[in-house]
Amino acid sequence: MKVLVLEDSSTYRKIIKNYFSKNLVFIDFYFIASFEELKNLKQSYDLYIVDFVLPDSQDGRHIEYLLSKKKPIIVMSQYDTFKNSPYKNRIVEFIIKDKYALDYLVTFIKRYYKNQNLNAIIVDDSRMVRNYVKKILLSIGLNVDEAKDGSMALDKIKTSKPDLIITDLNMPKMDGEELIENIRSDYTRTELPIMMISDEKVDDKFLKALKLGANDYLKKPFLKEELILRVNNLLDIYDSFQSIKGKLQLDNLTGAFNRFFLETTLDNLFMIHETKSIVMLDIDHFKKINDTYGHQMGDEILKYFVATIKNNIRKTDYVVRYGGEEFLIFLPDATKEEAKKAVEKIKNSLTEYKGVKYTFSAGIADEGETLPEMIKIADKRLYKAKETGRNRIVID
């Protein structure tokens, strides 16, 4: 993805460049400083980030010029005078250059980058609404299809599963409620998010649709910004659930989740669950096993170890390969005592593998405000288990 930044201040250009190179490694950025340079560009870009006031364009002529490229434009400025500009409704975002500006930009661009691989369907009997919403969704990078009513939407969903449904409630043929019911018989809330937009005046209708399985709603008329923020939020959650299934997040040898999963997804799951425990496990004297029976046998034992763990935990628990022969189990909705029971079950069913006997030590925690904090506490207890003789479970 190629992004063009038009900014006349060399200092601010440097700041942006520096910030983006740290936070957006997978995107190509090009920097220019004037309207003149913009007009001389031969290439086109996927996204434009432009300063509102330039020495050679003070009234937004460069924005007018860019609109013809039909690509999203983000305008930045030190002042909020742009809010009165006629271009205000024709760009995706207006960002004031305050201390939050670059953070927000990075979040927006990351989401835009991911949205390019996602498909949304807008379902509404009014062509005007469809067009309006479609334009907004396109401007945040999504691919968009449309349907006039519920049954047409269902047909489209059956042919190829989209990633987001935005639907009206009152429609001829099949209305929103029936559509939501139908979708939910095949897909859960995290498998296919649904957002309602309706001029429905009765709150009961929205509540009922939420109970039927819609994820969120907006009342018409709504602000463009609000739709963008809510849709992007919904897709952030959707992404983290989708990527759980992704092979990218699995360790090749054992099939446990890897560190990438831990750092990108587990963090979100951690926040969602009120009660949760973490177990850190480490095989005892594993180096000796490798030295005695060979590295290949060591590998097989690691696989067998993970299989044994998985056999003794719930489907909703996660096993992560934390290091070589060190593993982490994340148990949502489990207290330390419940986690301990699971670990004891693992201990009891871990007999031997091809004649090789081995044991493990474990530390368990359900304390800590953040994921790293909880890991640290469990890790400390694991260390204690090792110190005090191995082959044991420590919970405090």
Vertex 214 angle, CA 138 and 161, to 5°: 55
**Residue 69 CB contacts under 8 Å (≥ 6 apart), including other chains:** 44, 48
Q: How far is the CB of 286 from ligand GH3 (least distance, A)?
A: 3
Of the candidate residues 282, 317, 366, 379, the single one contacting Mg ion (CB under 5 A)? 282
Instruction: Locate 4 and state its tokens.
Output: 């063009």
Cα(17)–Cα(238) distance, integer angstroms: 30
CB of 156 or CB of 321, closer to ligand GH3: 321
Minimum Å gap between C-beta 260 and Mg ion is: 20
Q: Indicate the DSSP class of residue 251.
A: -
283 lines the binding site for ligand GH3 (CB under 6 A): yes
User: Residue 286, interface with Mg ion (CB under 5 A)?
Assistant: yes
Using CB distances below 5 to 8 A depending on partner kind, what does residue 298 bind out of Mg ion, ligand GH3, none? ligand GH3
Which range, of 177-185, 200-208, 214-222, 322-330, touches Mg ion by CB under 5 A? 322-330
Buried b (16+ CB within 10 A) or exposed e, 286-311: beebbeebeeebbebbbebbbebbbe
Q: Which is nearer to ligand GH3, 334 or 382 (CB)?
A: 382
Q: Note whether 129 and 167 are within 8 A (CB).
A: no
83 binds, among ligand GH3, Mg ion, none (CB under 5 to 8 A by kind): none
3-state secondary structure of 241: helix
The tokens describing 349, both together, are 């069913």
Interface with ligand GH3 includes 177 (CB under 6 A)? no
CB contact at 8 A, 63 and 44: no
Task: Single out the segment in contact with ligand GH3 by CB under 6 A; choices: 27-35, 164-172, 231-239, 277-285.
Answer: 277-285
Question: How far is residue 3's CA from residue 5's CA, in Å, rounded to a whole number?
Answer: 7
Sign of the torsion angle spanned by Cα atoms 176, 178, 179, 184: positive
CB 137 within 8 A of CB 144: yes
| CB nearer to ligand GH3: pick between 211 and 357 | 357
Instruction: Considering only the stretches 58-66, 176-184, 270-278, 295-303, report the one whose residues sit in contact with ligand GH3 under the rule CB under 6 A.
Output: 295-303
Within 243-262, the residues that bind ligand GH3 by CB under 6 A are 253
Residues 363-392 that bind ligand GH3 (CB under 6 A): 386, 390
Residue 298 is a binding residue for ligand GH3 (CB under 6 A): yes
Residue type, 118: L
Kindly state whether residue 324 participates in binding ligand GH3, applying the rule CB under 6 A: yes
Q: Which distant-in-sequence residues (6+ apart) come within 8 Å of 96 by Cβ?
A: 76, 77, 78, 79, 80
Which of the residues 71 through 110 are near Mg ion (CB under 5 A)?
none
Residue from 124, 325, 366, 379 touching ligand GH3 (CB under 6 A): that is 325
Using CB under 5 A as the criterion, which residues of the chain lie in contact with Mg ion when the complex forms? 282-283, 286, 325-326
Using CB under 6 A as the criterion, which residues of the chain lie in contact with ligand GH3 when the complex forms? 253, 282-287, 290, 295, 298-299, 302, 324-325, 386, 390
